[in-house]
Amino acid sequence: MLYQRSSQLFAEAEKVIPGGVNSPVRAFKSVGGTPIYVKEAKGAYLYDEDGNRLIDYINSWGPMILGHAYQPVVDAVVEKAKLGTSFGMPTEIETQIAALAVSMVPNVDKIRFVNSGTEACMSAVRLARGFTKREKIIKFKGCYHGHSDSFLIQAGSGAVTFGSPNSPGVTQGTAKDTLLATYNDLENVKMILESNPGEVAAIIIEPVAGNMGCIPPQEGFLQGLRSLCDEHGTLLIFDEVMTGFRLARGGAQELFGVNADLVTFGKVIGGGLPVGAFAGRAEIMDYLAPVGPVYQAGTLSGNPLAMAAGLTMLQEIERDKNLFKRLDEKTAYLEKGIRKVLEEKQVPFTINKIGSMISVFFDIREVVDFDTAGYGNNETFKKFFHGLLANGVYIAPSSYETWFITDALTYDDLDFTIGAVDKVFS
């Protein structure tokens, strides 16, 4: 494939945008090479600036669960735009999407809309701190909750459980309030809670981790967190920015039958426009301004175009009773096909999969947390990525990312993808 125009565009971008991109993973740093520039997309396909067609397994990192340029969403946005694009005043559509979201998600009474997953998680943590009058939070190594300061924390040295900044610009003061735990390790969480009695406002977690590859929670893990939170007066925050409206209508809460105290959303809920949201029971949500004391605001929050895209997306998901079953079946088909090829070619691998999220790790060992996810971050992955790309299949340019299956994928597309995997290892 030819990437001449993409390379030129990237060179021009590098002059005026740091690293040429507005979000680092797009720059291909962990796989080498230069990024592909998209010209347009429809259904399961991307068309790049050099005229190549690629089957897309990133899908804007999740939102395009029904495929690109999904007609009802496009129409809704176009129609709304004609009526004005932003007012900074209440509009009826905000209540419509809120009511629908609250009816689809278990255990939440109220929801507030923001502009990104980052904002949603940042705001949920502030609310949890305000509500509990405690300052510390627990997050899990390898889970991503956006780029706000409290989450850009890595493991501290030695025996200390509090983290240290993993980006310059994040202060030690902020880092000391974020305690780091190991995913799927309940004993570790218990120990951290017991050594910080009465101090932990919230545990925030991706109920299915999707930002260190796909790592589902082990049996009893989420239930265990729920019990520990109840015992310690700590709020449980499910970051469902990735899993919300993807794993089930009601997200991971519904799938696993575990109630969180606060839930954050992004990606699918915006139908491809910049939307985030956080939701919970009324007693907690009413702690927000203007009724409560915890401040949170946004000039473009609840923007009519974004709400139109999100509302249409949720309506489609709500209407289509077989959507999640179809997505499951397509993902299972893809997994089976890839598994067969890799076994035949004697490539060491592990595949993690749940619903429409799937990851291939190039190591035979089980992947259950951040450390084990690192096993598959190797030369084989780079070869796999570039090989698939050369064969018309676009997966995320990092071994720490999940593939997202869209309903627009046909079984022919899946067969094409499995064929591409076969070519890469032949």
Ligand X SMILES: *Cc1c(COP(=O)(O)O)cnc(C)c1O
Type and span of the H or E element at 111: strand 110-114
Q: Which is nearer to ligand X, 3 or 400 (CB)?
A: 400
By the criterion CB under 6 A, which residues form the site for ligand X? 61, 116-118, 121, 144-146, 206, 210-211, 239, 241-242, 266, 276
* Cα atoms in the 13 Å half-sphere on the side-chain side of 268: 29
Q: Which is nearer to ligand X, 334 or 396 (CB)?
A: 396
For the purposes of burial, counting CB atoms within 10 Å of the CB of 71, is it exposed (0-12), middle (13-18) or buried (19 or more)? exposed
Closest separation between CB of residue 279 and ligand X, Å?
14
Closest separation between CB of residue 106 and ligand X, Å?
19
Token pair 């079946």 is found at 329
Closest separation between CB of residue 82 and ligand X, Å?
27
Instruction: Name the residue among 411, 333, 343, 347 with its Cα closest to residue 384.
Output: 347
Catalytic residue, candidates 144, 183, 394, 400: 144
Question: What's the CA gap between 73 and 311, in Å, rounded?
Answer: 9
What distance lies between CA 171 and its chain's CA centroid? 25
Closest separation between CB of residue 422 and ligand X, Å?
30
Catalytic residue, candidates 48, 239, 261, 407: 239
Helices and strands, number each (H, E), in the chain: 14, 16
Q: Which is nearer to ligand X, 52 or 59 (CB)?
A: 59
Contact (CB, 8 A) for 376 and 361: yes
Secondary structure of residue 136 in the 3-state scheme: strand
Closest separation between CB of residue 210 and ligand X, Å?
6
Catalytic residue, candidates 136, 267, 330, 353: 267
Cβ neighbours of 90 (radius 10 Å)? 9
Q: Which is nearer to ligand X, 209 or 409 (CB)?
A: 209
Q: Which is nearer to ligand X, 247 or 341 (CB)?
A: 247
Polymer length of the chain: 426
Q: Is-catalytic flag, 144?
A: yes
* Number of residue whose CB is nearest ligand X: 117
Q: Is-catalytic flag, 57?
A: no
Active site amino acids: 144, 239, 267
